[in-house]
Amino acid sequence: MSESILVVDDEKDLVDLISYNLEKDGFTVLKAYDGEEALRLVRTRQPHLMILDLMLPGIQGMEVCKLIRNDPEHTALPIIMLTAKGEEIDKILGLEVGADDYVTKPFSVRELLARVHTVLRRSTMEKGIEKKGIFVYKDLHIDYRSHVVTVENKKIDLSPTEFKLLKFLAQSPGRVYTRDQILDHVWGDETFVETRTVDVHIKRLRAQIEKNMASPQYVLTVWGFGYKFADIE
């Protein structure tokens, strides 16, 4: 059975264009033109990925994304957000509410299809890592169960916070996280922790696992947004 993609946008011509190209690429397509219908289809049809426009009638795209991320049954649904707005703040907000990726209108269909394949591949890999409990990329090896990290077969002694930081980023390779998101997931409800703390711990983590601090290959900076683990093809 082919993977199903839910396309949500109030521009019917755009939905048809995206759907046509997704179907040519072998996907099954579901269509919605507002937030309410999108949520209904997520719950009843359980798509493998959603392409979600930011500006929708009724429930806006940001709110749809928040509702899905707060639903235990669908919190892991990959979401690519579409937006006609190019400002950094809109992209950051999209990532903050849980979008896996974003594409700014106007965009090329080829670019969108490439993003779809990348996000689906990442989602499949995350499920495999979760099941096996082991992550390997280049010379880096992480055993989530034993909390053992090795680089070039040498054990690396990370602090508990450094391990949590590496684990959090490595579980979603290629996905960009803002400093606030990292604080929420790694430090949780600890009080008086500033976003600068993330930068300090990233620097310490890189000092342990990277060969070249000036050109890291594992934990990467995404200027203007935050950090991510390297994209894995």
- Report the C-alpha dihedral over residues 61, 115, 78, 94, rounded to 10 degrees: -40
> Which of 72, 105, 127 marks a domain boundary?
127
- In one-letter notation, the amino acid at residue 69 is R
177 and 89 in a common domain: no
pLDDT of 29 > 90? The answer is yes
- Cα 142 to Cα 127, 210, 212, 225: the distances in Å are 15, 14, 19, 26
> Which of 127, 149, 184 marks a domain boundary?
127
Residue of 64, 61, 101 lying closest to 79 (CA atoms): 101
- In one-letter notation, the amino acid at residue 45 is R
Q: Please, which residues have CB within 8 angstroms of residue 26's CB and are 6 or more apart in sequence?
A: 2
Is 186 within the bounds of a domain?
yes
Q: What is the CATH number of the domain that holds 105?
A: 3.40.50.2300
Residue of 5, 52, 7 lying closest to 27 (CA atoms): 5
119 and 179 in a common domain: no
SS3 78: coil
Is 139 within the bounds of a domain?
no
Is 135 within the bounds of a domain?
no
Q: Specify the number of domains making up the chain.
A: 2
- For residues 154 and 116, what is the distance between their CA atoms, to the nearest angstrom? 36
The residue range of the domain holding 93 is: 4-127
pLDDT, tens digit, 9 for 90 and up, residues 32-47: 999 999 999 999 999 9
Is 197 within the bounds of a domain?
yes
Is 47 within the bounds of a domain?
yes
pTM: 0.67
Task: Give me the chain's average pLDDT, please.
Answer: 88
pLDDT at 233 (0 to 100): 63
Is 71 within the bounds of a domain?
yes
90 and 21 in a common domain: yes
173 and 123 in a common domain: no
Is 145 within the bounds of a domain?
no
> Which of 84, 110, 127 marks a domain boundary?
127
107: which 2 tokens? Answer: 């965009």
pLDDT at 52 (0 to 100): 96
204 and 96 in a common domain: no
- In one-letter notation, the amino acid at residue 176 is V
pLDDT of 191 > 60? The answer is no
121 and 59 in a common domain: yes
User: What is the gyration radius of the CA atoms in the chain, in angstroms?
Assistant: 19
pLDDT, tens digit, 9 for 90 and up, residues 119-169: 888 787 777 666 678 888 999 999 988 889 999 999 999 998 999 999 999
For the chain, the distance separating the N- and C-terminal CA atoms, rounded to the nearest angstrom, is 23
105 and 24 in a common domain: yes
Is 155 within the bounds of a domain?
no
pLDDT at 112 (0 to 100): 94
